[in-house]
A and B are shown apart, each in its own frame.
Chain A
Amino acid sequence: MSDTLVCEDAHLDRAVVVKSLKSGVDPKRLVDELAALSAIRSKHVVQIYDVIREKSGTVIAVVEEYLDGPEVDGQPPPKNAKKAMELLYPIACGISDIHAHGRVHRDIKPANMKRDDESCLKIFDFGLAKISVPGGATKNLYFSPGYTPPEAFNKNASGEHVFTTALDVFAFGATALFLLAGKLPKGFSDIPPTLGGTEADFKTLPQKLPDPIAEMLNACIAAERGDRPAMHDVKDLLGRHLLFDRHRANFVLNGKESVLDASKRSAKFSFGTEGVLAVSYDGIAFRVTEVSGAVHINNMPVDVGFELPGACVIVLGVGRVRGIITVSLSHPEVSL
């Protein structure tokens, strides 16, 4: 990407950003990529509206949503765990939405995020320059030092740098470390990066993140891409912790209702002596804490520790007369 202009869309009466594209990228792949990106409907990803083509058909510029809020880079680190998770959650959402559309951003870093006039964080600047050119002999790797995982420096059998979603997950982890610690460990900028050490451990940060969150973030910056979690799981875990104690579950057994939430955390259900089940809410999830006799959740036997899915049917007992519990959970959403 090179020149950037803020323009007025005279048809739809809105401010837009027009970014001219560097040449050298295969036009067909670029258009495919832009078409896919324009389909992403995410609150936390800048919307790509359109492309501009020359008469020859070559795409020369991208038209996207204009953001007029503050930068994310250069802000003081969040003061506590809640503020830290509130900062990371929208970033995780945006990347997760991109991955859900089968795309890789390729250039996640603090400088590629900004807020709009309602303070909503949005990710922009897809690493379009990193789209490799099929058939080309040598491929140049454009990369952002510190935010690029070790595997990005390797080439595959046909000499290409391969970008998977795990690249974005690493970049997210490095971004999180930078935003929370105020700096990245020096080794991160080596080629390839030198990882590990206490500076790169989220458990040592002053925000004192909950252990499962710190462990998940540590896994994001794992050297092996197979050890990194899926972005969807990172988003989900952050969301659950931001919604701590705000969930409810509703159980109906033989016409009788029980509600579990932060004010009433556990319940025990039984149908005669044939099946007994106890469930408890730990602020994050509803889990089985006791089971005896014949108990099936969605027709599968369960063990202690089993987490109830968003909707399920629990059957107590066997044979023709059974206790049937229908379960549904509330869907609070993180609003920032």
Chain B
Amino acid sequence: MVAAPFRYRRTTSFEEAVAALCECGDGAKLLAGGQSLVPMLNLRVARPDWVIDINPVGAEPIEKLDGVLRLPALTRHRAIEQSELVRRCCPILAAATAHVGNPRSRARGTIGGSLAHADPSGELPCVAVALGAEVTVRGPDGDRRLPVRDLLVSFLTTSLRPDEVITEVRVPLQPARAGWSFLELTRRSSDWMVVGVAALVELDAAGGVAGASVAIGGVADRPWLVPPEPLADLLGEPPEEALLARVADRVSGMLDPGDDVHASGAYRRRMAAVLGRRALAEAAARANQEPDR
């Protein structure tokens, strides 16, 4: 298949991109890495009147500043995967990024693009939700910030207004003695997740659980951030296998995933329990090894 005709505009700044969005109206799509949009164009699933290319805007280096890791929206997956700073300050993000697509899609794909695409089976939306990441969004009236969990509304749908563009992603740095795990089940290694779990576990000085954040992908129309209530059973307790299994079972019991060609809903729920237990255990084990950052 070849894409239906569209008009193309190249922009060199986010301001210019916003102006172009205002001018071109509803029929415009922003082109970042193009690893999701261009297949949709080629399959004619998407038929925009205008494609506004923001690649020439480029990306500044990833930086660490007062408690957050700042990633410009057009940071390519490969840059995240290879960044020493990300590996040190936010290893779960580097690890999850290595699971995105194939090496060619990681050479082009961007973190801002992945979040704006809002695929419920995407790795980065799931991890961003678990991390409590925020995006900065630019529109005609200036910038606003919102948590990724408020950005992601439903399947391929965000709360971005038609004239807004994501300019950066801000990931809060994790406390000392916090461990992480990202596990996913895929049919083939470059596929989207059938189910994926991102878990962060913080331990107190006595080795009890001080906090946990878990997001599950592939089980709803957007990554599901596990609410505090089922995770509260962990607090103050040592992260023993039986407890983690009980919590993971409770969490998976709250899910109602749908059936599709890749897996039945029941299988997905079962896998969420298995991966949830393993991810909590791995995160707790890593928290035990974690030196002060």
Are A and B bound to each other? no
A residues engaging B (CB < 8 A)?
none
B residues engaging A (CB < 8 A)?
none
